[in-house]
Structure 1
Amino acid sequence: MRIMLVTDQYPPMVGGVPTVTRGLAVDFVNRGHQVWVVAPSYGARDVKRLEQGVRVYRFSSFEWPTYEGLRIPFLPFMPMRNLIKRSDPDIIHIHSPVVLGNIAQILAGGLRKPVIATNHYLPINMSRSLSSDPIFGKPFSSVTYTYLVNFCNRCEYVTAPTQTALNLLYEHGLRAPARAISNGIDLNRFRPGAPDPEVLTRFGLPTDRPLIIHVNRLSEEKRIDVLIRATQHLRQPAHIVLVGSGPMEAELRALAASLHVEDRVSFLGFVRDADLLSLRRSAALFAIPSEADLQSLATMEAMACGLPVVAANSYALPELVHQNENGFLFQPGNSEELARAIDTILEDGALRTRMGQESLNIIEKHDRLNILDEWEDLYRRLSIEFKEDKERKQQMRIQRKYKGELPTGQQKARSRLRRTGTTGDLSFDWSDTAEDTDAQL
């Protein structure tokens, strides 16, 4: 198949959407498909290159001032139209309903290409301050969902990574055909393994106490401040390991210092994948206090490594973290409850082992290979149905055109056919007529 992925977030930008879109693109190429990715460039010039077999087209853009790392393209209507015409994709899959996604959707209609949209966004992802504002929060959320749902309803099909995410769209008026399809996880790559004391020493982490790992962008809506505050309430001498960077790093460091827990919290910044895998395997559990996840890749990766999880009872996290099974859920923002849950797991080795095994059981259904099969089946079915529908409409247009040109006697005969089901002496095969007319056109 010929597949086009359209996204406003793509590596080198770090985050869930860039990871998902690049993963899909590379995996589809490895399965023998032709893949084009449309994304913003990191400058004022358009760039095209082959990346791991993926044809990546980046259009000139500028940095969005309120969201670090997010790029906004300069409305490349004609270049994208030319690219769609040249590549002739069987399916266009949009992962960002903003600039490039809107352009792709508009152009796909005129070029008669089927469009799938996947929603990865919450209003809080765009602005936590507005979303939580007592006056403007509800109108902001309403406007955001109105935009998202209107965008989705103009697509042939809609997906979201969790049922929670999909239900949010239904609640705001989604009418397009839709279903939940997980982002998936590579279970061959992410799996349990032995702790690695060498990697702990290299990152300056203690080897004589349990490690609580958290992997995420250091931004306001991820509520990492709750995890840092929980440190002062822990009974166990655990050490918090924060992997990631973001606009809140300086503020979070200052918070740790003000609470006098800076010696129990490590900020590692960006960590390469091989070391991050070793860190997960060396940790006792994974903690995620985020209030803005429709599906957490970092949580899925930790579960695949056999870790128990303590998570905020917010949005889609309970679909991964089942209370008293593979971890605990705590009230969002409640650092004391988070600390109690961590202590409960750390103080009971048998419980930790049982919960880690249950994480492995739960994550099995998110196996990347099965998810790719789902996408391929959906792409193929929509492509075939779209082509069949297009051919059917073309035949109807031809028949309507031909009907208008029938001699008067044949028009009367056809009228009689509609009334009685018979043409009398007139023999008339509409399928042959449609083919003949098509040839003339």
Structure 2
Amino acid sequence: MKILLATGIYPPDIGGPATYVRNLAEGLVREGVQVTVVTYAQEPGDRSQGSGAWDIVHVRKGMPILRWVQFARALKKHGKDADVVYAFSSVSCGVPLLFARLKKPKKVLRLGGDFLWERFTDRGGMLSLRAYYTQHPRLRRFMQRLLKSFDHLVFSTRFQQELYKEHYTGLPRNSVIENALPNAVPEHHQVHQPLRLLFLGRLVRFKNLELLLQAMVRLPLVRLTIVGSGPEGKRLQSLSEELHIESRVFFVAPTHGQEKTQIFTGHDLLVLPSLTEISPHTALEARAAGLPVLLTQETGLSEALRSGMVCADLSGVEQIVAAVANVRSSYQAIAQECVASLEERPWSQVVHEHVELFSSL
């Protein structure tokens, strides 16, 4: 079986899809599958070996139409004899796949985010994903046509699957393949004085970090570490200075591996105040490490995966301040609950579910 994985980002770029594609490629190769990855990069390249086991094709980043055409050419060249082309972005990969007009391979799209809603929030929109779909029906027409061009849709959560079934008609066959769960030994946390909050993720608008900084003004006995990078980084740093909280708010570059584990160990609470978090892998990583998590109530995580997390309305400054205060008052009980192990879901299971899906198409 030959599978082409089409992704907008790939290591060393940072982000959920980048890590997901690399891990999936590694697992598929172990199952005897021939894998090629096509991705965007600053510098183009032909076929370079990915850890010596699969090929990576780099397409130069640039203006949207030009890069889509170049990506389509790469898909046509390297995917014409593939059994499946598996796209990890509805627009940056899905549109070039339409341009490529491949005949043989089945076309599969994985949905772990929502392109239209994320662009809406980038422009200043402050609606949750569910509210956005209720209030902006016309913007879905383009996505409706794009989704119908695929043979199968893979959702990372039932939350998003049900939302799409509610608002889109005539969807292709679809299924849910949940993310793998981190494998870690949970560590019992003792609260620090002052309380140490942590945010870890992309610095983009829908993460609602502006309101988190505003809430910090009302939380004088609290420190906040923001770990990540993204288009909102400079604006958030300037805002912390304008609010005169820069002595209590620390910005840190993205971390991985042992460094990330040490950051979890050194903090009391991971806070994800996003407008919506469809499938927050960071929350699962923190929870697996035993770090308490305060998560937006609009999330796609199942009840089982939310075990040990505190889900609350974090849509405004008042709500964030109240939620942090509630966690602080019950911290020992929450921390004790986080020591319990999560259910197991290794990458081998995720890979097996993909192989079964690809074989059934």
Under TM normalisation by the shorter chain, which class is it? Answer: 0.7 to 0.9
Post-superposition offset of 1:182: 1.3
Separation in 1 of the partners of 2:215 and 2:45?
A: 46
Post-superposition offset of 1:268: 0.7
- Equivalent residue for 1:5? 5
Q: What pairs with 1:78-227 in structure 2 (closer than 5 Å)? A: 78-85=73-80, 88-105=81-98, 107=100, 109-110=102-103, 112-122=104-114, 123-128=116-121, 130=123, 132=125, 141-171=136-166, 172-187=168-183, 190-193=184-187, 209-227=194-212
Separation in 1 of the partners of 2:140 and 2:17?
A: 19
The answer to whether the Cα contact below 8 Å between 1:3 and 1:90 also exists between their aligned partners in 2 is yes
- Equivalent residue for 1:353? 335
Residue identity matched to 2:154: T
- Equivalent residue for 1:254? 238
Residue identity matched to 1:288: L
1 or 2, which has the higher strand percentage? 2
Residue identity matched to 2:79: I
Post-superposition offset of 1:321: 7.0
Against the structure 1 CA distance between its residues 19 and 306, is the aligned structure 2 distance closer, same or farther, given a 3 Å change threshold? same
Separation in 2 of the partners of 1:77 and 1:261?
A: 47
Post-superposition offset of 1:149: 3.1
Q: Please tell me whether residue 298 in structure 1 is matched to residue 291 in structure 2.
A: no
Against the structure 1 CA distance between its residues 152 and 304, is the aligned structure 2 distance closer, same or farther, given a 3 Å change threshold? same
Q: Please tell me whether residue 42 in structure 1 is matched to residue 42 in structure 2.
A: yes
Against the structure 1 CA distance between its residues 79 and 343, is the aligned structure 2 distance closer, same or farther, given a 3 Å change threshold? closer
The answer to whether the Cα contact below 8 Å between 2:79 and 2:102 also exists between their aligned partners in 1 is no
Separation in 2 of the partners of 1:218 and 1:167?
A: 27
Q: Please tell me whether residue 342 in structure 1 is matched to residue 324 in structure 2.
A: yes
Q: What pairs with 1:34-73 in structure 2 (closer than 5 Å)? A: 34-43=34-43, 45-52=44-51, 53-62=53-62, 72-73=67-68
Post-superposition offset of 1:56: 0.6
Q: Please tell me whether residue 379 in structure 1 is matched to residue 361 in structure 2.
A: no
Against the structure 1 CA distance between its residues 216 and 77, is the aligned structure 2 distance closer, same or farther, given a 3 Å change threshold? closer
Residue identity matched to 1:227: L
1 or 2, which has the higher helix percentage? 1
The answer to whether the Cα contact below 8 Å between 1:242 and 1:267 also exists between their aligned partners in 2 is yes
- Equivalent residue for 1:409? none
Q: Deviations along 1:270-300, whole A, 9 cap, x unmatched?
A: 2243201211133222110112432112112
The answer to whether the Cα contact below 8 Å between 1:131 and 1:141 also exists between their aligned partners in 2 is no
Residue identity matched to 1:83: H
Where does structure 1 lack aligned partners over 5 or more consecutive residues? Answer: 66-70, 196-205, 383-441
Name the SS for the 1:300 alignment partner.
helix
Name the SS for the 1:62 alignment partner.
coil
- Equivalent residue for 1:308? 292
Q: For structure 1, which segment, 311-320 or 29-38, has the greater mean C-alpha deviation from structure 2 after superposition?
A: 311-320
**Backbone CA RMSD of aligned residues:** 3.1
The answer to whether the Cα contact below 8 Å between 1:41 and 1:47 also exists between their aligned partners in 2 is no
Against the structure 1 CA distance between its residues 339 and 133, is the aligned structure 2 distance closer, same or farther, given a 3 Å change threshold? closer
Separation in 1 of the partners of 2:210 and 2:312?
A: 15
Separation in 2 of the partners of 1:343 and 1:140?
A: 33
Q: Please tell me whether residue 328 in structure 1 is matched to residue 310 in structure 2.
A: yes
Name the SS for the 1:167 alignment partner.
helix
1:238 to 222, 230, 238: 222
The answer to whether the Cα contact below 8 Å between 2:287 and 2:338 also exists between their aligned partners in 1 is yes
Q: What pairs with 1:279-298 in structure 2 (closer than 5 Å)? A: 279-298=263-282
Between 1 and 2, higher relative CO (CA 8 Å, sep ≥ 6) is seen in 2
Against the structure 1 CA distance between its residues 106 and 140, is the aligned structure 2 distance closer, same or farther, given a 3 Å change threshold? farther
Against the structure 1 CA distance between its residues 214 and 99, is the aligned structure 2 distance closer, same or farther, given a 3 Å change threshold? closer
Give the structure-1-normalised TM-score.
Answer: 0.71
Give the structure-2-normalised TM-score.
Answer: 0.85
Where does structure 2 lack aligned partners over 5 or more consecutive residues? Answer: none
Name the SS for the 1:256 alignment partner.
helix
Separation in 2 of the partners of 1:258 and 1:368?
A: 44
Against the structure 1 CA distance between its residues 255 and 355, is the aligned structure 2 distance closer, same or farther, given a 3 Å change threshold? farther
Percent of paired sites with the same residue: 19
Post-superposition offset of 1:178: 0.9
Residue identity matched to 2:222: A
Residue identity matched to 1:14: I
Residue identity matched to 1:302: A
Against the structure 1 CA distance between its residues 255 and 338, is the aligned structure 2 distance closer, same or farther, given a 3 Å change threshold? same
Separation in 1 of the partners of 2:69 and 2:269?
A: 44
Give aligned pairs, total: 353
Post-superposition offset of 1:77: 4.1
Separation in 1 of the partners of 2:187 and 2:157?
A: 28
